[in-house]
């Protein structure tokens, strides 16, 4: 069972604390099922374990966090659908390569629902469409329980990526669901993208998804929601 919590806009520091606590609860057995947090953040830059300081081009005027996920530098902001899967891989496959590829497959399937052709890019983690990067992935795993996750650009202001070398990939062009489709009402694009991602997780991970307007994990951390 995968409990999906659509949490709205949450400051990055609060969401980081939330997912860390959920992961610890999952490891300790206090949380009896997996959780997928779906949300977005106010503008923030995060630096993964493999980040290079030179890839943060313009740090002024924005919060910067160093975190335990893999990967290099990335941007999170309004209109970007961020997913934090808290999964016990012991119930799936204890293989980080498999997990990364399955996350990519879930997003590729989601974008297909949105009529956006998407694919992997050999040698890189993430999802591309028409030669441009539309989703980034960076994970952390402890005792086979995951946190951190993915960021899918939906209606993101792509100018923010000028602050960084996204994921440390020189010359990469970022894109979004909004840019790759016939532009529609922004809230509709968000809702359709969230629904497509949930369906992608169901198919890729073979899970039963339970939407959670008032689930146990959500109630415990009600103070973190906005």
pLDDT per position as a tens digit, 12-46: 999 999 999 999 999 999 999 999 999 999 999 99
Q: Are 167 and 73 in contact (CB under 8 A)?
A: yes
Distance (Å, whole) CA 109 – CA 101 = 12
Model confidence band, residue 219 (pLDDT cutoffs 50, 70, 90): very low
pLDDT of residue 226: 34
Is the confidence at residue 215, as pLDDT, over 50? Answer: no
Structure-derived torsion over alpha carbons of residues 180, 184, 186, 192, reported in degrees to the nearest 10: -70
Q: What share of the chain is helix, strand, coil (3-state, %, to 5)?
A: 35, 30, 35
Catalytic entry in 167, 174, 194, 198: 167
Q: Are 119 and 192 in contact (CB under 8 A)?
A: no
C-alpha distances out from residue 185 to 112, 155, 178, 192, Å: 19, 10, 9, 11
C-alpha distances out from residue 133 to 65, 69, 137, 171, 188, Å: 22, 19, 11, 11, 22
Distance (Å, whole) CA 95 – CA 98 = 5
> How large is the average pLDDT for residues 100-123?
97
pLDDT tens digit sequence for 43-82: 999 999 988 989 999 989 999 999 999 989 999 999 999 9
Domains and CATH numbers, the chain: 2-224 (3.30.930.10)
Region of 37 (left: φ > 0; alpha: ψ -120 to 50; beta: rest) is beta
pTM here is 0.92
167 in active site: yes
Share of the chain above pLDDT 90, in %: 81
Distance (Å, whole) CA 23 – CA 88 = 9
């Amino acid at each position: 069972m995968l409990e999906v919590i659509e949490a709205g806009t949450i400051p990055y520091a609060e969401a980081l604390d939330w997912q860390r606590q959920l992961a610890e609860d999952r490891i300790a057995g206090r949380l009896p099922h997996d959780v997928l947090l779906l949300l977005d953040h106010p503008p923030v830059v995060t630096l993964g374990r493999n980040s290079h300081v030179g890839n943060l081009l313009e740090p002024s005027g924005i919060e910067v966090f160093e975190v335990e996920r893999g990967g290099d530098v990335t941007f999170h902001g309004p209109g970007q659908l961020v997913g934090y899967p808290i999964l016990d891989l012991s119930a799936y496959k204890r293989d980080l390569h498999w997990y990364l590829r399955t996350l990519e497959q879930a997003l590729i399937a989601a974008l297909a629902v949105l009529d956006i052709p998407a694919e992997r890019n050999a040698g890189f983690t993430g999802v591309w469409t028409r030669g441009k990067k539309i989703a980034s992935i960076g994970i952390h795993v402890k005792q086979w329980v995951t946190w951190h996750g993915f960021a899918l650009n939906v209606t993101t202001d792509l100018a923010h990526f000028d602050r960084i070398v996204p994921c440390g990939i020189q010359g990469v062009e970022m894109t979004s669901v909004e840019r790759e489709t016939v532009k529609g009402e922004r809230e509709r694009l968000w809702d359709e993208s969230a629904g497509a991602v949930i369906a992608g997780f169901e198919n890729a991970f073979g899970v039963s998804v339970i939407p959670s307007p008032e689930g146990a994990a959500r109630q415990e951390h009600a103070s973190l929601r906005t």
